[in-house]
Amino acid sequence: MKRAELVFIPTPGMGHLASTLAFAKHLLDRDDRFSITVLVMNPAFAPTNHSLVQFIAASDTRVRFIHLPQVDPPPKELFFKSVEKFITEYVENYRSHVKEAIINHVLSASLPLAGLVVDLFCSSMIDVAHELGVPSYVFFTANAAFFGFMLYLPTRHDQVGIEFRETDPESVIPSYVNPVPPGALSSFALNKEGGYICNVNHGRKYKEADGIIINTFSELESHAASSFFNDGTPPVYTVGPMIDLKGKAPSGDNQAKHEIMKWLDDQPPSSVVFLCFGSRGSFGEPQLKETALGLERSGHRFLWSARLPSRDDGLAKPTDAENLEEILPPGFLERTRGIGMICGWAPQVEVLAHKAIGGFVSHCGWNSILESLWHGVPIATWPLYAEQQTNAFQMVRDLGLAVELKINYRLGSGVLVMAEEIENAVKCLMEADSEVRKRVKEMSEKSRQAVIEGGSSYASLGRLIEAMIANVTVPARKSNMW
């Protein structure tokens, strides 16, 4: 039996590392011909990811980790001008370490190297694959439509030569059904400090890869998936949804998890709206007040993960909101006692799976969208950053799978989402027989069918595996490693 090694290169940061490891385990569970080495970069500012790495290393010996040396990050000022540019430059600083680790610890081993699997911010590592004479695959942690947007950027840039502007007309982007207004674009598209151009360069680089792996399924993004044919794009493999259904609680949060799940157990089926905004989602006190008023006026039960911005310029994770009596409207906690629960961190996957949950007010991160669809829970869109605006646009306008609370909201814009907007969106979201709810239930079944034998994603992953194995049965490409 032909065996082969794959090297995974994730972007530093818990979200990207966790997604990469989920796919690595998914691949190993499907085919035992592979061994996987993960090259671990240290986050520039945040604590290391060693706890997650140690957990995976102890639980799955098929995955080997190599910790790369620390490199100097770009100037901190760049982080505040463009997060994407900062991350891109930081990853590029690891390039020589990545190449050295592969030469010394992978190519010297007995198994042949079938290729590098690089994160969407690690497109510079495609050049390392070229130098080593091995294939490269991009593991794209966002969705297929947004991948299409990344491919569209170089084409547009070659025509107009500048970033997007708020006054631009709507953009006709092949991977989206409807023209996209500038307010629904990711903030980097309008960034003049390097964010726009660095993503143009990522989009160019993706076309040099041997394949693109996306955590989505063709039934959900049929339009986007079909838009890649006959345009010179490498083969696209839709292998999702890949969801961590176990939802392991962070250390120290087991008590909070127990209290949340116990409260949900006492609520009627499909009666609770869940508000949660991801690991970095937070709001200032004025927005928390408006949110509280909107929830109260909606009349629905709620579970609300309320978090405040960190006090160190946003480099650390948000903090759980304390002294709520001083922050929220007078009497709110007393009036909503019994019908609402406010928490800090929440076990999102397990909450969405609970029978009491009837709707989800979400920041529209792609993993959150996939989790809500899997469990048949409709979303009200409240995007904050990254590609979340385009995710919200796609879910509402292109797919009809979400209720619009906001599409063009951006965290840090200084704009408040008012109580009336929240109230109306929650009421719409929680309608028992709405068309959106019916469509979400249908897509939930399709998402589950996609990943089992005979499903579209099961078949796509099979094609990816065969392509990777075929790489080790043909003569190696000319190597420039020395």
Question: Do the Cβ atoms of 298 and 358 come closer than 8 Å?
Answer: no
**pLDDT for 389 beyond 60:** yes
- Say how many C-beta atoms besides its own lie within 10 A of residue 315's C-beta: 12
Give CA–CA dist 72/57, Å, rounded: 27
For residue 322, what pLDDT is reported? 77
Q: Tell me the pLDDT band of 367, cut-offs 50, 70 and 90.
A: very high
pLDDT band at 5 (very low <50, low <70, confident <90, very high): very high
Name the packing angle between helices 435-450 and 456-470 (round to 10°).
40
Distance (Å, whole) CA 471 – CA 407:
43
In this prediction, residues 22-30 reach a mean pLDDT of 93
Collapsed DSSP state (helix, strand, coil) of residue 281: coil
Mean pLDDT, to the nearest integer, of 358-387?
96
- State the average pLDDT over residues 70-82: 95
Across 200-214, average pLDDT: 97
Taking the C-alpha atoms of residue 406 and residue 404, their distance in angstroms, rounded to an integer, is: 5
pLDDT band at 18; cut points 50, 70, 90: confident
pLDDT tens per residue, range 428-444: 999 999 999 999 999 99
Q: Please, what are the domains in the chain?
A: 4-240+454-470 (3.40.50.2000), 254-443 (3.40.50.2000)
- Decide if pLDDT at 43 tops 70: yes
Question: Taking a C-beta distance cutoff of 8 angstroms, is the pair 400, 378 a contact?
Answer: no
Of all residues in the chain, the percent with pLDDT exceeding 90 is 80
pLDDT in the model for residue 15: 76
Q: What share of the chain is helix, strand, coil (3-state, %, to 5)?
A: 45, 15, 45
pLDDT tens track for 243-269: 877 655 454 478 899 999 999 999 999
Nearest to 173 by CA among 187, 160, 156: 156
User: In the predicted model, what is the mean pLDDT of residues 393-410?
Assistant: 97
Dihedrals phi, psi of 259, to nearest 5 degrees: -65, -40
Instruction: Look at residue 178 and tell me whether its pLDDT is greater than 90.
Output: yes
At 156 the pLDDT is 97
- 286: tokens are 């004025």
| pLDDT reported for residue 412 | 83
3-state secondary structure of 378: coil
- pLDDT of 458 higher than 70: yes
Give the tens place of pLDDT for each residue, 145-157.
Answer: 999 999 999 999 9
pLDDT, average across residues 383-391? 95
Please, which contacts does 125-129 make with residues 24 or more away whose CB atoms are closer than 8 Å? 125/9, 125/91, 125/95, 125/98, 126/205, 126/208, 126/209, 127/95, 128/95, 128/98, 128/99, 128/102
Which among 334, 354, 341 is positioned nearest to 302, based on CA atoms?
341
Do residues 427 and 301 make contact, with C-beta atoms less than 8 angstroms apart? no
Greater pLDDT, 49 or 457: 457
pLDDT band at 229 (very low <50, low <70, confident <90, very high): confident
pLDDT of residue 316: 67
- pLDDT for the residue numbered 481: 40
Model confidence at 39: pLDDT above 50: yes
* Model pLDDT, residue 16: 85
Averaged over 309-331, what is the pLDDT?
81
> Could you tell me if 45 and 62 are in contact, meaning their C-beta atoms sit under 8 angstroms apart?
no
pLDDT bin (cut points 50, 70, 90) of residue 359 is very high
Beta bridge partners of 6: 36, 115
392-428 as b/e: b if 16+ CB within 10 A: bbbbbbbbebbbbbbbbbbbeeeeebebebbbbbbbb
User: Measured between alpha carbons, how far is 308 from 331 in angstroms, rounded to an integer?
Assistant: 20
SS3 of residue 13 by DSSP:
coil
What is the pLDDT confidence band of residue 52, given thresholds at 50, 70 and 90? low
pLDDT grade, residue 317 (50/70/90)?
Answer: confident
Per-residue model confidence (pLDDT) at position 13 = 80
120 confidence band (pLDDT: 50, 70, 90) = very high
Amino acid residing at 411: L
Q: State the DSSP H helix or E strand holding residue 128, giving kind and residue range, or none if neither.
A: helix 125-132
The C-alpha atoms of residue 378 and residue 438 are separated, in whole angstroms, by 9
Mean predicted confidence (pLDDT) in 129-142: 97
Is the pLDDT score of 29 beyond 90? yes
Mean pLDDT value across residues 47-61: 67
User: Which residues lie across from 40 on neighbouring strands?
Assistant: 67
pLDDT of residue 223: 97
Residue 80 to residue 11: CA distance in whole angstroms: 18
Residue 482 confidence (pLDDT) above 50? no
N-to-C CA span, the chain: 31
Read off the pLDDT of each residue in 50-57 and give the average, rounded to a whole number.
Answer: 69
Separation CA 17–CA 15 (nearest Å): 6
Q: How many CB atoms lie within 10 A of CB 148?
A: 23
Has residue 319 got a pLDDT over 50?
A: yes
Higher pLDDT, 45 or 289: 289
Over residues 421-434, mean pLDDT: 97
Token code pair at residue 86: 């900062």
How does the average pLDDT of the chain come out, rounded? 92
In the chain, the amino acid numbered 387 is E
